[in-house]
């Protein structure tokens, strides 16, 4: 089947957080919030229509088909044999992170994170009354790398209860290698630190980079790990929120399931979300995902070539996963703060400012969402070029 990623809805009229912003120019290009502009895989609509036709939204169980699809998905994609008893779901990925911090850390505890990091992660840590310990990533040879010496030193100094990993990393686009992940697991295991892994960006990778779920790393990871995944970013179902959590260790799973019961998340589920997720997990959207990968890859290459051609005072880092471009503006002569205002006022592009969205380690950077039509991307790149030519 041929999928049309060049034609989209008018997101200025559907309440989009990225496009339908109050007080913005009529010709605004939305390149901030991390969702896709594209119509979803056809199987999603096919799964949702029968639910709508029933027009009855009573309490519903997760079916055997849902659990089988969940298990088969991990086996097919990642050679990970998840057990049904490991599995649960909540209506929000960040909500799952916040729940995990409330269960596996106490108020006043330390939580170590690779920074820069998306603000909602910071808010989750703050909301749990915990302290964020920054393990700042460093740009090395065109991508960002973990400073392992700093990571291990801070583990030993601050004795965090939880290591919160975002993989693929947002905003830098790193997809951590198996060697990196195993080294992180070994350090945490040796120091009694639990790992909460946010894997929401793991469905889209490039250039042979392979996303590896936490629990696929072996016995140590399964003993200390809480794995959080969602299909939302890859399949553009953000408004059908459904985060899937896998916990192998029964000692960790028992308090988690107690909170699932306390929030009634095992009983009150969204029938539309369950239908859409089941369809995707069964592989019915695999062909669409392959086509999406190819379209995003071409957009990415075009954006990288335009920004890094030597004529702009910007440096874009090649993302290894997701659809977000992290761009260094330190040499652009436009300051390092409120960079979103500069691009909004001069190019009518709304994008994410590094400091405002990713903390002090993000100062001087912007994040650009390139999951737009190629026509919109070309327009945006042209506006950026014109902005700097006119300075």
Beta bridge partners of 136: 115
Q: Is 86 inside a domain boundary? A: yes
Please report the pLDDT score of residue 117 as a whole number. 97
The domain that contains 365 carries what CATH number? 3.90.1150.10
- If asked whether residues 217 and 91 sit together in one domain, one would say yes
Q: What is the DSSP letter of 319?
A: P
**CATH of residue 256:** 3.40.640.10
Residue 284's pLDDT is what? 98
Q: Which residues contact 326 (CB under 8 A, 6 or more apart)?
A: 144, 171, 172, 173, 316, 317, 319, 365, 366, 367
- The answer to whether residues 27 and 175 belong to one domain is no
In a domain, 179, yes or no: yes
Instruction: Look at residue 165 and tell me if it is in a domain.
Output: yes
Structure tokens given for 108: 């006043």
Are both 233 and 362 inside the same structural domain? no
Q: Which of 264, 281, 298 is the last residue of a domain?
A: 281
Low-confidence ranges of the chain (pLDDT < 50): none
Kindly write down the DSSP assignment for every residue of 326-344, as one continuous string.
EEE-TTSSS-SS-HHHHHH
Counting the structural domains of the chain, the total is 2
Whether 185 and 77 share a structural domain = yes
For the segment 126-181, what is each residue's pLDDT rounded down to a tens digit? Answer: 999 999 999 999 999 989 999 999 999 999 999 999 999 999 999 999 999 999 99
Strand partners, 30: 350
| Domain, as residue range, for 307 | 11-41+286-389
Answer left, alpha or beta for residue 55, where phi above 0 means left and psi between -120 and 50 means alpha.
Answer: left
Orientation of helix 178-190 relative to helix 148-158, angle to 10°: 20
Cα distance from N-terminal residue to C-terminal residue, the chain: 46
Both 123 and 244 in one domain: the answer is yes
pLDDT at 13: 84
Per the CB < 8 A criterion, the answer to whether 238 and 69 are in contact is: no
Residues 115, 147 contacting (CB under 8 angstroms): no
115 shares its domain with 236: yes
pLDDT in tens, 304-334: 999 999 999 999 999 999 999 999 999 999 9
**Residue 336 CB partners (closer than 8 Å, separation 6+):** 329, 330, 355, 363, 364
Q: Are 264 and 306 contained in the same domain?
A: no
Q: Residue 304 class from Cβ within 10 Å (0-12 exposed, 13-18 middle, 19+ buried)? A: middle
Task: Quote the CA–CA distance of 368 and 323 in Å, as a whole number.
Answer: 9
Whether residue 163 is found in the same domain as residue 311:
no
**Residue 390's pLDDT is what?**
82
Ordered strands of the 315-317 beta sheet: 315-317, 324-328, 365-369, 352-353
- Residue 3 falls within a domain, yes or no? no
pLDDT score at 181: 98
The answer to whether residues 256 and 328 belong to one domain is no
- Nearest partner of 239 among 6, 63, 14, judged by Cα: 14
The answer to whether residue 4 sits within a structural domain is no
23 and 151 inside one domain: no
Judge whether 47 lies within some domain.
no
pLDDT of the residue at 354: 98
Is the domain of 76 the same as that of 104?
yes
Tokens, residue 320: 């290894």
Residue 6 covered by a domain: no
**What are all long-range contacts of 378-384, with beta carbons under 8 Å and residues at least 24 apart?**
378/302, 379/29, 380/29, 380/31, 380/347, 380/349, 381/302, 381/303, 381/306, 381/307, 383/29, 383/347, 383/348, 383/349, 384/306, 384/307, 384/312, 384/314, 384/343, 384/347, 384/349
Strand 324-328 and strand 315-317: pairing?
antiparallel
- Reading the block at residue 101, the tokens are 């911090």
* 213 and 322 co-located in one domain: no
Query: Which of 281, 301, 325 marks a domain boundary?
Result: 281
Last residue of a domain, one of 281, 299, 318: 281
Q: Is residue 46 part of a domain?
A: no
Report DSSP letters for 252-304, one per residue: HHHHHHHHHHHHTTTT---HHHHHHHHHHHTTTTHHHHHHHHHHHHHHHHHHH
Burial environment of residue 158 by CB neighbours within 10 A (0 to 12, 13 to 18, 19 or more): middle
Cα–Cα distance for residue pair 159/269, rounded to 1 Å: 37
Closest CA to 74 of 216, 284, 238: 216
């Amino acid at each position: 089947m041929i999928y049309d990623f060049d034609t989209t809805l008018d997101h200025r009229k559907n309440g989009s957080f990225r496009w339908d912003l109050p007080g913005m120019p009529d010709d605004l290009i939305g390149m901030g919030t991390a969702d896709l502009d594209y119509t979803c895989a056809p199987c999603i609509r096919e799964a949702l229509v029968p639910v709508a036709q029933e027009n009855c939204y009573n309490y519903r169980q997760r079916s055997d088909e849902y659990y089988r699809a969940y298990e088969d998905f991990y086996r097919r994609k990642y050679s990970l044999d998840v057990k049904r008893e490991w599995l649960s779901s909540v209506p929000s990925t960040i909500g799952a992170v916040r729940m995990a911090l409330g269960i596996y850390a106490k108020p006043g505890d330390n939580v170590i994170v690779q920074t820069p990091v998306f603000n909602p992660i910071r808010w989750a840590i703050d909301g749990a009354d915990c302290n964020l310990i920054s393990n700042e990533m460093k740009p090395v040879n065109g991508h960002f790398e973990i400073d392992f010496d700093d990571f291990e030193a801070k583990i030993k100094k601050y004795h965090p209860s939880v290591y919160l990993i975002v993989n693929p990393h947002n905003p830098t686009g790193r997809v951590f290698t198996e060697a990196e992940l195993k080294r992180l697991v070994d350090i945490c295991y040796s120091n009694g630190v639990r790992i909460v892994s946010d894997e929401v960006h793991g469905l889209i990778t490039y250039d042979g980079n392979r996303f590896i779920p936490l629990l696929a790393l072996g016995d140590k990871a399964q003993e200390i790990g809480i794995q959080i995944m969602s299909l939302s970013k890859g399949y553009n179902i953000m408004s059908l929120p459904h985060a899937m959590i896998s916990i192998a260790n029964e000692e960790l799973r028992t308090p988690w399931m107690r909170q699932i019961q306390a929030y009634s998340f095992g009983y009150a589920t969204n029938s539309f979300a369950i239908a859409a997720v089941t369809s995707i997990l069964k592989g019915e959207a695999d062909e669409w995902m392959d086509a999406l990968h190819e379209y995003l890859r071409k957009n990415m290459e075009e954006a990288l070539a335009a920004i890094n051609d030597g004529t702009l005072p910007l440096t874009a880092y090649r993302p290894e996963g997701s659809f977000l471009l992290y761009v260094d503006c330190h040499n652009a002569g436009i300051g390092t703060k409120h960079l979103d205002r500069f691009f909004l006022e001069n190019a009518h592009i709304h994008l994410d400012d590094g400091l405002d969205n990713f903390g002090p380690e993000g100062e001087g950077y912007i994040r650009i969402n390139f999951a737009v039509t190629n026509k919109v991307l070309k327009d945006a790149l042209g506006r950026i070029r014109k902005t700097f030519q006119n300075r």
